[in-house]
Amino acid sequence: MDTAAIFAALDLSPALLSGGPLAVRSPIDGAAIAQVSITEATEMPQVIARAQAAFRVWRQVPAPRRGELVRLLGEELRAAKAALGALVTLEVGKITSEGLGEVQEMIDICDFAVGLSRQLYGLTIASERPGHRMMETWHPMGPCAVITAFNFPVAVWSWNAALALVCGDPVIWKPSEKTPLTALATMNIFARALARFGDAPEGLAQLVVGGPEIGAALVASPGVPIVSATGSTRMGRVVGPRVAERFGRSILELGGNNAMIVAPSADLDMAVRAIVFSAVGTAGQRCTSLRRLIAHNAIRADLVARLGKAYASLPVGDPRAATTLVGPLIDHAARDQMLAALEQARAEGGTVHGGRTVTQGVPQGGAYVEPAVVEMPAQSAIVREETFAPILYVMGYETLDEAIALQNDVPQGLSSCIFTLNLREAETFLSAAGSDCGIANVNIGPSGAEIGGAFGGEKETGGGRESGSDAWKAYMRRATNTVNYSAALPLAQGVRFDI
């Protein structure tokens, strides 16, 4: 699909793509592909008021009917999958199959949310008082701001929006300023679902385009009870306290520094495949990308040699080409950060393999790099940081306790895994004394989660959970109800208050 065909298929008209102050560049070759309008800070009160008005209507629509809108969204996404996937590739530089995979994730969460719309269950609870019944009911909460990062430009919106919409909450989306086109296209797809649905309130799902200042207006407003923010820990450090200050609810999905432990019993062929996909996929720009390899000293040299071979044959280049596995970084600043991290790793005693800038056989103007493997003598300062690029630090270990301690000894707590065929090791890793991350896997890599599980992590990753399991509860408010169907009025805890 060429660029014009992608734009046409997604109703991205020339009017939407020109005349605005925000330049959109494709990381493939750095070329400007659009100049889009931005939302002025002065417009934000109206945006929030529209969401509030939509909330008053939408909260009363039965949840299964709300699910019907999400079902239609899933259908429209299926119809638009090829074009939207291609736009993800154009705007973010993901290889074709990952661009399509991102849209598939949107479809999957829609399917999940449709089922959920008939399962917003509360508990019934035994009352200590005769003739009383206690229960929990879950109610819509109000407008939900969704602030998203560049690297999953559409999937993260859908994880939040599909759940928020069935839970009865309008959504206000502030995408990364680097990826407004995929957001505009997603809103056009949503508009198709809305047209088929018929009677949804105006302002149910809105888009605001701009930088942190636009996000800040959502973060500050008591009219937005939920702020789901995905991005760097730096951003979360600002957003989290501001939302807390006004007693809002935040769902923070921040940086990761994900590790794999490879035990002596591991199936090394499988481990190598998992390592390469999770360290190099999306050019190392996933929050769950593998960044630290903790290999037992008995197999470490063998593993590094195998990785050397696998890395040597990795095709770096235009993400639209069928054979490419490593596309460009999002921009030259990201490449500079990668090179600076490698420099620091050398200064901290690391031996760097790969990691050079690639200029041959790739489109000119993009930031292409060879993925790097860095053998480190210890988990030094640079290893403890998230560098959003394909750098894999390798460290050795002797005992499992030592490996788990290394795995946990970073500020972030998103995703983790162990490769082992030893049941005791696997279960120890998953136990309370094991990985401290929100995601802990056995014999699969740390990246590429399915939507059925709750997604998120601990410590500086922010503690939020999105997507599957009971993550929907973050989008609703819980009411505890006690109903007295007796003719008496007993007080709890035996308290007497006779009048």
- For 260, residues 6+ apart whose C-beta sits below 8 A from its C-beta are 271, 274, 275, 278, 290, 292, 293, 294, 416, 417, 418, 419, 445, 446
Scanning the structure block, which residue is given the tokens 């734009």? 7
Is-catalytic flag, 136?
A: no
Please list every residue from 91 through 130 that binds ligand NAD, using CB under 6 A: none
Applying CB under 6 A, does 151 fall inside the site for ligand NAD?
Answer: yes
217 interacts with ligand NAD by CB under 6 A = no
β-partners of residue 124 are 135
Nearer to ligand NAD, 84 or 235 (CB): 235
379 binds ligand NAD (CB under 6 A): no
Here the tokens at position 387 are: 């560098």
At closest approach, how far in Å is the CB of 493 from ligand NAD?
Answer: 43
Torsion of CA 491, 495, 498, 499, to 10 degrees: -70
Q: Which of 174, 296, 335, 459 binds ligand NAD (CB under 6 A)?
A: 174
| Dist. CA 280–CA 200, nearest whole Å | 42
Q: How far is the CB of 183 from ligand NAD (least distance, A)?
A: 10
Pick the binder of ligand NAD from 90, 114, 235, 362 (CB under 6 A): 235
Identified binder of ligand NAD from the candidate list 208, 266, 287, 449, rule CB under 6 A: 287
Site membership for ligand NAD, residue 181 (CB under 6 A): no
Contacting ligand NAD (CB under 6 A), which of 176, 282, 416, 441? 176
Candidates 106, 226, 246; CA nearest to 167 is 226
> How many residues does this entry show for the chain?
499
Distance CA 149, CA 462 (A): 14
Q: How many helical (H) and strand (E) elements, i.e. helices and strands, does the chain have? A: 14, 21
Q: Which is nearer to ligand NAD, 138 or 475 (CB)?
A: 475
For ligand NAD, the binding residue among 256, 319, 327, 354 (CB under 6 A) is 256
Q: Which of 153, 203, 231, 328 binds ligand NAD (CB under 6 A)?
A: 231
Residue 209 interacting with ligand NAD (CB under 6 A): no
Decide: is 146 part of the binding site for ligand NAD (CB under 6 A). Answer: no
- For ligand NAD, the binding residues in 433-472 under the rule CB under 6 A are 461
- Provide the minimum distance between the beta carbon of 427 and ligand NAD in the complex, in angstroms, as a whole number: 26
| CA 277/CA 291 separation, integer angstroms | 12
Burial level of 361, CB count in 10 A (0-12/13-18/19+)? exposed
- Residue among 345 and 471 whose Cβ is closer to ligand NAD: 471
**In this structure, are residues 327 and 93 in contact, taking their beta carbons and an 8 Å threshold?**
yes
Among residues 3, 37, 39, 232, the one that binds ligand NAD under rule CB under 6 A = 232
88 and 176 Cβ atoms separated by less than 8 Å: no
385 in catalytic set: no
By three-state DSSP, how is residue 469 classified?
coil
Question: Which residues are at the interface with ligand NAD (CB under 6 A)?
Answer: 147-152, 174, 176-177, 211-212, 215-216, 219, 230-232, 235, 238-239, 253-256, 287, 386, 388, 414, 461
